[in-house]
Structure 1
Amino acid sequence: MEKEKFPSFKNGGDGDTPNCCSNGKDPPAAEKNKSQEADKPEEKGGRAEAIPRIKYTMEKAWEDVQHFFLELEGDADSEIPESINQYLDLVEEKACKHELPEKSKGCPLPDLDDDGSFLKVGQQMSKLHKHVSKIFGLDSRQGHLMNRIGRIHQQVMCYLEDEFRALLEESRIVEPEVNQEPAADQCAEHGEGQDQAFRSNEVLSNFPGYSQEALDTLNKIAMEMISGGYEFECYEAYVMTRRNAIEEILNKLGFEKISIDDVQKMQWDALQREIPPWIKAFKACANVYLSEERKLAETVFSDDPSVAKTLFNSLTCVLFLRLLNFAEAVSLSKRSTDKLFKFLDIYETLRDHFSTIDNLFPEECAKELKEQLTTTRSRIGETAICIFRDLENLIQSDTGRTQVPGGAVHPLTRYTMSYLKYACEKYSDTLEQVFKDHSEIERADSTSQGNSQSNDDENQSPFSIHLTKIMDSLDSVLDTKSKLYKDVALSSIFMMNNGRYILQKIKASPEIRQEIGDNWYRKKSYELRNYHQSYKRETWMNLLGCLNLEGLNVNGKVVKPVLKERFKSFNAMFEEIHKTQSSWVVSDKQMQSELRVSISGVIIPAYRSFLGRFSGYLSPGRQTEKYIKFQPEDIETYIEELFDGNTASTGRKRT
């Protein structure tokens, strides 16, 4: 981060007077001696003769000083009255009484104005300094007086500066609960989101934590320091103290100052933990702290709105840029699909608080911040698009040849659909906006859509088009993986499992359904029915071939050897199907039930009819038991055991 700068304010104090001092310093010894000599009685004729001296109070001394100003009327040759030295002595004495002790946080400070006169003393010293400088500024004869007045004036101003800083540091702030979630019924009632509930949170009403009495005192001190020529010290004390206060608030929110270099060096696990505190801090600054900070500046410097505006800008612009720099650094981090949602969180935060810049900052400052915010938001959005596109690349790069046991849902399908479901349900509107605002990134790929598009591009948004591409890519990769199964029936089960899982996820998410469109959904459902038919054809149609009547009748008589062979073939094939397909997996219970009903509807009626027609041609007893191993009820029971992922044995007939 660049070194933070303060606005350049010219010090209106005496050019020979240093800008800093310590309160309560004793006057130089030479001046004390001269002051003491002034109190000694004059000597006449060798004898000391006491001259009566007026017992001055500060009020009396100041009245005489003002009277002297009226009589002087610019005459630099006038004799300096004793009342000025007496007044300066009394001011020094009062300043020493108000000397600040070493302060530590939580220790009470001495009252600024225990008798209601110290701020008045500051005003008087400023007036005295200006008058004397105007009249005697070029008169070397009054150099001693000028230096003394300048030193005491500085001493008073230094005390006011210390007290100004101490009052600013003594704010009492209840830690805001900015992460408090708004009640759902409140949001629905007011039609506003979390930010509105955030703004109206009563916990935040205590910021910036000053009582009205403290604000009045701060205003008076600021007015006096500025009129006394110590505006630079006043401004610097204000900006530094308030900046430290805001830093403390950000630390309470969990957001610490991190450089761009540090962000880029952080591992993602560590970096993503910094993003929620950043979001809290950004919302807090945009919704509460900065607006209240502006009110504070306008209150303390109410006599000069331009100064309040300049100080507010100096205080907050750097803070805002620092928050934006963090987001900028995150946008430059290495891309991966698991980062998308954090990027979208950042994008939404920047988008939702864009108008805050216009409301909080004047045009000249807002322009720079808006440009920076726009640039940062664009980079976050562009990175989000690239990450979303990376999901398609991730899918297409999955060339693993490991079969999923039992033809179950592939992990890639689960990951992709869970990813898309979460993205659409939580960030659908944001993704639509990001793709719309940055659709030029997609134009390079628009010609590659080809016939893979389910819907016409004219009816789809840029986000919908890319979402459909991802779904089609997943479908293509799954089709390739299905060919890893040598058993065509199992390949169909695999595609049915994955297709059903995809459709169920889409059905459960109206957001995905809306983006994908009905045509794509209907096309996928049609494909699923085709895989179902392919499975039945490869498995159960062959089994039905064993019940074929062809070749059983010769010259009107049943050929028993052929009949026996048909029963044996049926028994062997069914046992093998049951043994094999009991280990296959259909995880969706509804589809599992639909498959079993469909199989039973094909096999059981045909078997019952075949059995009823030809069982009588077999001799009762051992021959019947040897060739008729299953009753229709047994077949139905065994079919109910399919697709459970368990290996079953059909070595004997069940009873």
Structure 2
Amino acid sequence: MALVAVAGSSRSTNTALEEKVAGVAALIDKWRPDDGQCSLFLDGSRREAGRFLCAAVELHGAMLLVASDVDQERGDECLVRAQGVLEAAMRRLQLELELLLSTVRSNAVDGAISGHDVVGDAGVVGHITMVADAMMAAGYGMECVSTFNSHRRAEFAAAVRRLLGFAPSQHAHFHKLTWEDVDGKVQSWHTAAGFAFNFAFSRERVLCHRVFAADAALADKVFAGIASDHAADLLAVAEAAVMRARRAPERLFHVLDVHATLAEILPAIACILGDKSEAAARATAALRNAGNAARGILMSLEQAIQKTTSSKAAVTGSAVHPLTRYVMNYLVLLADYEDTLARIYQQGESTLTSGSGSASRVSPSSSADSIGRLVSVLQRKLEAMAVGYRPSALRSLFMANNTHYVSKKVRGSSKLEGIVGEDWIEEQMAETRRHVDAFVHSAWRDVLVAGGEGADAAVKEAVATQRSWVVADDEMGDAVRAAAAAVVVPAYRALYRRHGTAAWMTPGDVNAMISRQFGGLRNEAAGARPVSAGSATSRRHRLRLTSFSDKLAHVQ
């Protein structure tokens, strides 16, 4: 009786399997694995899609029952047929997975651009989840993961490439590109990296966990497979940009931008990919390297200022020196990066103290120290350059023009003004006034010590000598004319009162001659106003700075 019962049971399971095979085969005849023109889920009915999934899973279950049966005489034949039908069903589901994934046009990058939240599309994501569950339940989890992974990797790569405007892998060729080309690519990288790490990766992770909700560990593994290479490619662009920048002063701002973006995305990388992940370690290293590069560039700039030789010093008419203009315009831009500089110098201090285990703190003066140091280096260089000017009046005018330009650029930038402080500005303006006074006493010395008709000749000579000299701007011209009139006119008036019969110029004539110096009356006639100091440049807008050596080449 037991043998009869077992035989009956085997026939029953085999019959059930044959029925399952027939049912699935009928569905496959309608939804063939090689027909990608229509989708069971998107073009068929929800009920029929559910029947297909259930039938495939039930077929796999029936196969397991037959395979566990001790009577394999008829079961083996049934299993062979069932295996063929199941494989066909899984190929159809694999095709369905591809069709469904193709409707998920991209990862969150494109979703954010278009304003459409792909992850929030419950219908499509729900269908994908159902297919994944069925394939996993039927023993085809590897095929499911492989299809999902390859499709999402390709979509993610395409979306990032569209956002960047170039393939991230092109970073390997940065050394062959002109700096202008690199500059353009790095600028698009800032947007792409911020978008990817702060938004796209997190949305992709949500998608993975929704599709593979039954196995969180698997979902994390699938996400890592999609994200790891793309994260590495994006970080490689930053690494290549910093390496390409070398120590050219005009490229510091790109390095600072890279540092700022890396500092912004590092918390997101640690949160989404894990603080122990390769991406987090790589981003941390890139951040450190960008900081080191920035400090190196600032050191190079300081050395370049110091190495400007006296032969490059003289400029016609004691005008503002190109070095002064270059450095101060540079510092106005640099002041916009005060917070980034503070982080970079904190990073340097942390590196120095990490070996001893002492905790580092943010030094609020670190950015001020670096900028203030460059200003001091410039001032010392200007003093050294001034020695080459003859006569002494021209030397004083050179210093007055350049110190005035320095303080004016500082006053024109609220950030730079905040960094150096009001006391420094007051001292700098007082220094400019001292140079103006020294200029007046030197340039008009012969008038001040002359007597009789000699005063007229001294005035004419002083005016003729100063005709080719220049002032920094109308503000400086007003200051110089006012200082000269305040000293020279009273002195000449005293001489005129004593020797008026011999002198043919009146004090009014002398005052008028002083008023015409440095374009005074011409500017008045034209209705000119003092040149404004300008305003601070925004973080992303930068001056086109040529190389430091090229900037000074014309004064060699």
CA contact (8 A) 1:596 1:642 kept: yes
Q: Matches of 1:105 and 1:377 in 2, distance apart?
A: 49
Aligned equivalent of 1:164: 97
Q: Matches of 1:235 and 1:461 in 2, distance apart?
A: 53
Cα offset, 1:204, TM superposition: 6.9
Q: AA paired with 1:470?
A: L
CA contact (8 A) 2:387 2:395 kept: yes
CA contact (8 A) 1:76 1:139 kept: no
Structure 1's unaligned 5+ residue stretches are 1-70, 179-201, 444-458, 548-565, 619-626, 648-655
Match runs of 1:171-190 below 5 Å: 171-172=104-105
CA contact (8 A) 1:439 1:462 kept: no
Paired residue for 1:91, among 17, 24, 34?
24
Aligned CA distance change for structure 1 residues 593 and 462 (closer, same or farther; 3 Å) = same
Aligned CA distance change for structure 1 residues 465 and 74 (closer, same or farther; 3 Å) = farther
Paired residue for 1:509, among 403, 413, 433?
413
Aligned CA distance change for structure 1 residues 250 and 571 (closer, same or farther; 3 Å) = same
Most deviating of 530-539 and 218-227 = 530-539
Most deviating of 400-409 and 202-211 = 202-211
Match runs of 1:94-105 below 5 Å: 94-99=27-32
Aligned CA distance change for structure 1 residues 402 and 499 (closer, same or farther; 3 Å) = closer
Aligned equivalent of 1:348: 260
Aligned equivalent of 2:527: none
1:631 aligns with 2:542: no
The SS at the match of 1:327 is helix
Q: Matches of 2:331 and 2:58 in 1, distance apart?
A: 73
Aligned equivalent of 2:357: none
Cα offset, 1:581, TM superposition: 1.4
Q: Matches of 1:77 and 1:104 in 2, distance apart?
A: 41
Cα offset, 1:357, TM superposition: 3.0
Match runs of 1:136-535 below 5 Å: 139=72, 142-172=75-105, 206-208=116-118, 211-255=121-165, 256-333=167-244, 334-362=246-274, 366-399=276-309, 400-401=311-312, 403-424=314-335, 426-439=336-349, 461-517=365-421, 520-535=424-439
Q: Matches of 1:131 and 1:500 in 2, distance apart?
A: 94
Q: Matches of 1:646 and 1:416 in 2, distance apart?
A: 32
Q: Matches of 2:386 and 2:373 in 1, distance apart?
A: 20
> TM-score, normalized by length of structure 2?
0.82
Q: Which one has the bigger helix percentage? A: 2
Match runs of 1:518-557 below 5 Å: 520-547=424-451
Aligned CA distance change for structure 1 residues 479 and 172 (closer, same or farther; 3 Å) = same
Aligned equivalent of 2:537: none
CA contact (8 A) 1:222 1:301 kept: yes
Q: Matches of 1:589 and 1:80 in 2, distance apart?
A: 103
Q: Matches of 1:468 and 1:347 in 2, distance apart?
A: 21
Q: Matches of 1:545 and 1:375 in 2, distance apart?
A: 69
Aligned equivalent of 1:451: none
CA contact (8 A) 1:432 1:463 kept: yes
Q: AA paired with 1:368?
A: E
Aligned CA distance change for structure 1 residues 104 and 321 (closer, same or farther; 3 Å) = farther
Q: AA paired with 1:325?
A: A
State which structure, 1 or 2, has the greater radius of gyration over its C-alpha atoms: 1
Aligned equivalent of 2:531: none
Output one character per residue of 1:501-540: Cα deviation in whole Å (capped at 9) or x when no partner: 1011222234333433455445433432332222122111
Match runs of 1:33-72 below 5 Å: none
CA contact (8 A) 1:74 1:135 kept: no
The SS at the match of 1:353 is helix
Q: Matches of 2:201 and 2:485 in 1, distance apart?
A: 72
Q: Matches of 2:471 and 2:457 in 1, distance apart?
A: 24
Q: AA paired with 2:234?
A: L
Identity of aligned residues (%): 24
Q: AA paired with 2:267?
A: S
Aligned CA distance change for structure 1 residues 611 and 472 (closer, same or farther; 3 Å) = same
The SS at the match of 2:294 is helix
Most deviating of 222-231 and 597-606 = 597-606
Aligned equivalent of 1:610: 495
Most deviating of 293-302 and 527-536 = 527-536
The SS at the match of 1:643 is helix
Q: Matches of 1:588 and 1:387 in 2, distance apart?
A: 31
Output one character per residue of 1:371-395: Cα deviation in whole Å (capped at 9) or x when no partner: 2221110011110111111111121
Cα offset, 1:221, TM superposition: 0.6
Output one character per residue of 1:401-434: Cα deviation in whole Å (capped at 9) or x when no partner: 362222111111111011111111x211110121
Structure 2's unaligned 5+ residue stretches are 354-362, 523-556
Aligned CA distance change for structure 1 residues 331 and 288 (closer, same or farther; 3 Å) = same
Output one character per residue of 1:82-131: Cα deviation in whole Å (capped at 9) or x when no partner: 6754653443342132125665999x964375634211221122112222
Aligned CA distance change for structure 1 residues 535 and 92 (closer, same or farther; 3 Å) = same
Count matched residues: 505
Cα offset, 1:173, TM superposition: 6.2
Output one character per residue of 1:258-278: Cα deviation in whole Å (capped at 9) or x when no partner: 255323333321111111221
Aligned equivalent of 1:572: 457
Aligned CA distance change for structure 1 residues 211 and 407 (closer, same or farther; 3 Å) = same
Output one character per residue of 1:577-636: Cα deviation in whole Å (capped at 9) or x when no partner: 2223133211332221121112112222222332233234x5xxxxxxxx51x2222212
1:134 aligns with 2:68: yes
Output one character per residue of 1:556-590: Cα deviation in whole Å (capped at 9) or x when no partner: xxxxxxxxxx31x3333322222231332113322
The SS at the match of 2:320 is coil
The SS at the match of 1:469 is helix
CA contact (8 A) 1:582 1:641 kept: no
The CA RMSD over aligned residues, in Å, is 3.3
Cα offset, 1:152, TM superposition: 0.9
Which structure is richer in relative contact order (CA contacts within 8 A, separation 6 or more)? Answer: 2
